[in-house]
Amino acid sequence: MNILSTKKIVSTLIFISLALIGLSFLLGANPKAIEATYSIFNLTNILSIHSLSNITGTVMLISAIIVLMSLKYEDLKPYAFSLLVLIAIIPLLTLLSPTRYIPAEGGFPVLGSGQGIIKYFALIALAFFMYGRDKITMNNLSWLNFFPVALVLLWIGGLKFMAFEANGIVRLVENSPFMSWLYDFFSVQMASNLIGLFDIIAIITLGIAIYKQWKVVAIIAALACASVFIMTQTFLFTTPDTFSAETLFGRLGQFVLKDLWFIANLIVVAYINRDWLVGKSK
Reported as a single tens digit per residue, the pLDDT across 71-115 is 999 999 999 999 999 999 999 999 999 999 999 999 999 999 999
Mean pLDDT of all residues belonging to the chain: 96
For the chain, strand residue ranges (E) read 243-244, 248-249
What pLDDT band is residue 280 in, cutting at 50, 70 and 90? low
* 14-62 confidence digits (pLDDT tens): 999 999 999 999 999 999 999 999 999 999 999 999 999 999 999 999 9
Q: Which helix (H) or strand (E) covers residue 126, if one does?
A: helix 121-131
Q: Name the residue ranges covered by the structural domains of the chain.
A: 3-277
Among positive and negative, which fits the CA dihedral 153, 113, 100, 93? Answer: positive
* 184-208 confidence digits (pLDDT tens): 999 999 999 999 999 999 999 999 9
What pLDDT band is residue 241 in, cutting at 50, 70 and 90? confident
